[in-house]
A and B are shown apart, each in its own frame.
Chain A
Amino acid sequence: MMPEHPDLAKVDVSGVRRVINVGLLSDSPPQPGEWVLIHVGFALSKIDEEEAAAALQFLEGIGQAYADELAALAESRIE
């Protein structure tokens, strides 16, 4: 965060550091270490880690069911 410019923040985008405007998140300003979605130099939204984890958990579940089915298929010997 940049104390002299409260609407600006320095972010790391795939290793590139640049300053963006965070004025659109003034309701709940991002804290150092949080992830944001950037569009044309403005942070539009904060990324919600809990929601991301929930989505991944769903996908893991589906992946597991598929892996189990493949394993069952591999073991099946119909003669």
Chain B
Amino acid sequence: MRFVDEFRDAEKAHALAAKIAALCEPGRQYKFMEVCGGHTHTIYKHGLEDYLPETITLVHGPGCPVCVIPMGRVDDAMHLAAQPDVIMTSFGDMMRVPGSEGSFFDAKARGTDIRMVYSPLDSLKIARANPDKRVVFMAIGFETTAPSTAMTLLRAAAEGLRNFSVFCNHVTIIPAIKAILDSPDLRLDGFIGPGHVSTVIGCRPYEFIARDYDRPVVVAGFEPLDILQSIYMLMLQLAEGRSQVENQYSRVVPWNGNLVALKAISQTMELRPYFEWRGLGFISHSALRVRDSYAAFDGERLFEVPGVRVADPKACQCGEVLKGVLKPWECKVFGTACTPETPIGTCMVSPEGACAAYYNYGRMHRQRVAEAAGTGGVTHP
């Protein structure tokens, strides 16, 4: 496909890798966080870590919408779905996320009417076709997805569709990045900025990272060469003593974002005072709820939601993985009790989750490398 294939050329990847290696200062270790789960997926799928010098570590960030939903919210959604005459709609990758009584798929098997949709607009179609039912859309996602929910709310209001509502779990990326920057566990040298979130919010919201935390940020695309070029741009900034926000993905990301999308969000949604993130805990002003003026379309107000906080299973270390403190394979249950087929934690569910990406693409290779080196450092199948 155009704009994709040309950013996957192996020879150019080697050339970029050589440029990156040439910028490494002897004896210095570099740690970059790729904030977005889509980047994590590309990194493992294309084995990009093998192109980098050993002194550069990529730390996987919290930008996986499914991964950061806490168990209590999954239980809330389950409770909503079980109400009389309710049809719950959800994106496919939410379907396998475990709540304390199983996943949406498990509930569906027990007879709850939960339907997978590709777009929130599909939920409107279901609502129109089922006027005697109440359709609730389980909205998840960062600023990439929030505009679609906003446009759907605007459409529902314009049509006067009274049997449609949204269970809003949209989160915002900036407070999560700030929480990570303020966390004492991790020292990062720079950020690979989330490409698709930035199509909406633009590049300016990251300026505080460069200004207040003195860390470079490069907003990156999703092909292998995009990510390698972004790492090169980060290394160049460090070598030249700069901390700036740069846009590698300028073919898609406008510097100021998408103003129509931002306006649609602010018309229909507002910031919550706080929201719980899996692994990161409660973060203030880090999520969106439906505005008062759209209360008639707010699932949280139309139905009673228990809102009980549920702790993660003890064995699950998704929190540490999401903060970048643990690598997926360092989790006790990775690849044994927790696999994409039977996930314990959210990071193993979504293709954007670091554990699932690593399980699908990286684990065999790592085992072979460890065996060849005779370190025997791999404890997972």
Contact = CB atoms under 8 A, between A and B. Distances in A.
Interface of A: 14, 21, 23-27, 35, 37, 39-42, 44-45, 47-49, 51-52, 54-56, 58-60, 62-63, 65-67, 69
Given A21-B121, A55-B250, A59-B229, A39 B260 contact: no
A52 B3 contact: yes
A51 to B, nearest CB: 4
A67 B15 CA distance: 8
A23 B2 contact: no
Interface string B247-273: 010111110001111001000000000
B252 A37 contact: yes
B187 to A, nearest CB: 30
B92 to A, nearest CB: 11
Contact of B119 (A42, A63, A66): A42
B250 A66 contact: no
A51 B247 CA distance: 11
A47 B3 contact: yes
B251 A23 contact: no
Contacts, number: 98
B251 A48 contact: yes
Given A40-B148, A44-B147, A52-B3, A59 B196 contact: no
A40 B121 CA distance: 9
A37 B259 CA distance: 16
B15 A48 contact: no
Nearest to A58: B229
Interface stretch (B6-14, B23-31, B159-167, B301-309): B6-14
Nearest 6 A/B pairs, CB to CB: A41-B119, A66-B15, A52-B251, A51-B251, A45-B199, A51-B250
Contacts of B264: 24
B15 A65 contact: yes
A45 B14 CA distance: 30
On chain B, which size bracket covers the interface? 35 or more
Contacts of B236: none
Nearest to B11: A63
Given A39-B196, A42-B147, A59-B9, A48 B260 contact: no
A40 B250 contact: no
B19 interface: yes
A26 B260 contact: yes
Nearest to B253: A45
A35 B144 contact: no
Interface string B100-124: 0000000000000000001111100
B91 interface: yes
Contact of A59 (B12, B147, B250): B12
Nearest to B261: A24
Nearest to B6: A56
B144 A44 contact: yes
24 contacts: A23-B151, A37-B196, A39-B144, A39-B145, A40-B120, A40-B145, A40-B148, A41-B118, A41-B119, A41-B121, A41-B122, A41-B148, A42-B151, A44-B261, A45-B254, A47-B3, A47-B251, A48-B250, A49-B251, A55-B251, A56-B7, A59-B9, A60-B12, A63-B15
Contacts of B11: 63, 66-67
Nearest to B1: A14
A9 to B, nearest CB: 14
Contacts of B337: none
Contacts of A44: 144, 147, 196, 199-200, 258, 261
Nearest to A69: B18
Given A47-B252, A55-B251, A62-B12, A42 B148 contact: yes
Contacts of B119: 21, 40-42
Nearest to A28: B260
Give the interface centre of A35, A47, A62, A66 by most chain B CB atoms within 10 Å.
Answer: A62
B68 interface: no
Contact of B15 (A35, A52, A62): A62
